[in-house]
Structure 1
Amino acid sequence: MNILLLMLSKGEGTGGMEKHCQELANGLSARGHRVTCAASIYHQTQLSKDVKAVTLNAERSRFSPILLASVIKIIKEGSFDIVHAQGSKAAAVLQLISPLIRQTKLVATIHSFKSAYPKESAFCRIIAVSKALAADIGHKNTEVVYNGLAQPQVSALSKALPAQLKSPVWLAVGRLVPAKGFDFLIDAFQHAEGTLLIAGSGPEQKSLEQQVESTSQQNKVILLGHRDDVPALMEFADGVVISSRREGFSYAFAEALLAGKPVIATDVPIANEFLDSRFIHRGFTPKLFARMLTANTDELQQAQSDSRKKARESLSLENMIENTVGVYSECLSHYE
């Protein structure tokens, strides 16, 4: 197949969607498909040499005539079998120009919950990265394809951690933004024993530092900042905690299960699709969440063996690529 992946993320940061798009492009190319990735220059750095990169100015509005004209030109010159939008902005652009590219099969992957979703009629298929997100989208042509991860390669810690951390050591990973619920987690950890490591950077850094200080938890809650050694941190920790208020797909959760770590989580996808309800907290009650963090991590490890097995079967990079190709094939066969 001749495939165009379109992603219009702003800025230099690389999050789950940007990582997913580049890994999908590389995986499709490795399977022998012709792949072009049109995106910001900042989000093409991990593409393989066999993927054709086309640079777009993703800072432009989705309604920008220049951006719309650029995307139309790329599609018409490329004669693609499939044009696949990654994220709601790219999907909105394809929806706007769809009357001008009627012969092209359009697919969109939605990575997070939104107040509005792409119109069903504009796309052959809409991919949701979790069952909960698919239900929220509600279109008949929506299919679930979980994001896939390569098996993590564990190396040494890039920076030393403080000595003699009190057990159990819990690790939380993500951007320091309200959606990740780290303020709730710090509040809850006042009522828990052990050590909490939070790896990530973001706009909530100062307020979370102040919260740690105001709750006198300087010796038990440690903000690590941005880390490139998350697999090593997971290997070091006794367990991983997900405290998000909302997620389309929790990469940290998937990474934890694939790393063989026990997990406690709030009620977000995909944790609530893989874990028994005993390990999911609903309601954001700090003391109740803290009670879950007092569980014996060895017992959690044993109790979550089925969840880890399901993750190995469902969350691999190969599985994601195979399922995505299946969606493409459905579109092409349906419209022949």
Structure 2
Amino acid sequence: MKVLLLMLSPPAANGGMEKHFSDLANGLANAGVSVSCMSAAEHLQSLDSRILRYPVNTNASRYSVPLIRSIVNAQRRQKFDIIHAQGSKAAATIQPLSAILPTPRYIATIHNFKSRYPSPKRFSAIIAVSHALARDIGQSTTVVYNGIRVDTQKAPPCTLDVCDHPIWLAVGRLVHAKGFDHLIDAFVKVKGTLLIAGDGEEREPLQKKVEQLRLADRVKLLGYQAQIPRLMQSVDAIVISSRREGFSYVCAEALLAGKPIISTDVPVANELLPPQHICPIGDIDTLAALLNTPIPELEETQATTRDYAARELTIDAMIENTLRVYQEVIRDE
């Protein structure tokens, strides 16, 4: 089987979709699939040496003639069985190609909620990374959860300069969508310490909020952290405060690290966690109350969820489920 993975993220992008692109490509190559990848050159650097790489200008329009020509030329040379778009921009680019290149099967994976989605008539399959996103897309969308690489040895904890327990960790870019402003507001009524790992455009206003609420001794903005697994091993629990998510890698990583979680009502937390551990978006009082739940109670109630994550949220499970979609669309040809 020969597969072209197409992703058109900006070169500097470094989020969940970019991680998925690399993990999927490398996992498929390890499974014996002949994989080629087309993306910004920056996103090709972490790929397995067996993968054929096609760098393109992803800052160009999705209707860019040079971009479309690159796809057409690659298909004519390699004769792919499947062209698999990652994200809405890539899906929009390949959507009209079936009239020019009728041979390959076209698949799109959608990672985030959008006002418009690919036309199911132009694709052999549309994949969503959560059930909530699949319901929003409609049209018999298939769900394949993103996978997380599981280390055989847990990362060693790091030393934290805090004394108030429990220690909560939130992870993500400091942007409006992550809801860290609400989380800081909630922490006025919460015992313990809150660590926020990440950087972004809202760092300054969030730091001002921490100081105005006199929380500087208990709420700390850590900035960008390269070793999130070590941080997770060093804290008592994880909190997700997002206003919106397509798929929360933080939720998956926390479950596989064995950590209890409190989350707002976003995928995939709202599909995996017990409903009593999910907070309505924007409900600061309920978020505060959930953060005051005893940690042992969270750990006990989420034991089944952690077992499920260990089976279904791994790279191996993601590759197996993606290959199943590939085999089905080829069989239906």
Judged with a 3 Å threshold, the aligned counterparts in structure 2 of structure 1 residues 157 and 304 are, in CA distance, closer, same or farther, namely closer
1:54 — aligned with what? 54
Could you report, residue by residue, the CA deviation over 1:191-246 in whole angstroms, capped at 9, with x for unpaired residues? 11111001111111111111111211111111111111100110011000010111
Q: Which amino acid aligns with 1:126?
A: I
CA RMSD of aligned residues (A): 1.3
- Which residue in the other structure is 1:207 paired with? 205
Structure 2 portions without partners, runs of 5+:
none
Report 1:184-199 matches (<5 A).
Answer: 184-199=182-197
1:221 corresponds to which residue? Answer: 219
Distance 2:173 2:109 in 1: 22
Amino acid at match of 2:280: R
Runs of 4+ in 1 over 3 A off after TM superposition: 152-158
Q: Provide the TM-score with structure 1 as the length reference.
A: 0.96
Per-residue CA deviations over 1:264-319 (Å, capped at 9, x if unaligned) read: 00001100111111100114221221010001111210110011011111101101
Q: What is the letter of the counterpart of residue 77 of structure 2? A: E
Per-residue CA deviation, residues 134-154 of structure 1 (Å, 9 max, x unaligned), is: 0000112x1000001111454
Q: Which moved more, 1:109-118 or 1:281-290?
A: 281-290
Q: Which residue is 1:312 aligned to?
A: 310
Tell whether the 8 Å contact from 1:192 to 1:290 is kept in structure 2 after alignment: yes
Is 1:269–2:267 an aligned residue pair? yes
What is the rounded CA distance, in whole Å, between the counterparts of 2:22 and 2:42 in structure 1?
11
The residue type equivalent to 2:314 in the other structure is S
Q: Which runs of 5+ in 1 are unaligned?
A: none
CA positional deviation for 1:96: 2.9
Measured in 1, the distance between the counterparts of 2:279 and 2:40 equals 38
Contact 1:157/1:229 (8 A) holds in 2? no
Which residue of structure 1 lines up, in the alignment, with residue 331 of structure 2?
333
Distance 1:165 1:27 in 2: 41
Identity across matched positions, percent = 47
Instruction: Work out the CA distance in 2 between the residues paired with 1:74 and 1:205.
Output: 43
Residues 81, 103 of structure 2: 8 Å contact kept: no
Aligned pair 1:24/2:29, yes or no?
no
Q: 2:5 touches 2:35 (CA, 8 Å); kept in 1?
A: yes
Amino acid at match of 2:103: Q
Q: Partner of 1:127: helix, strand, or coil?
A: strand
CA deviations 1:50-74 (Å, max 9, x no partner) are: 1111101111111222222222222
In structure 2, the partner of 1:103 is 103
Name the structure 2 match of 1:134: 134
Pairwise mapping of residues 224-303 of structure 1 onto structure 2 (< 5 A)? 224-303=222-301
What is the TM-score of this pair, normalised by structure 2? 0.97
Aligned equivalent of 1:120: 120
Contact persistence 2:145–2:318 (CA under 8 A): yes
**In the aligned structure 1, how far is the partner of 2:286 from the partner of 2:157?**
32
Which whole-Å CA distance do the structure 2 matches of 1:276 and 1:205 have between them?
A: 31
The structural deviation recorded for 1:75 is: 2.0
SS in 2 for 1:117: coil
Q: Name which of 171, 181, 184 aligns with 1:183.
A: 181
| Counterpart residue number, 2:147 | 148
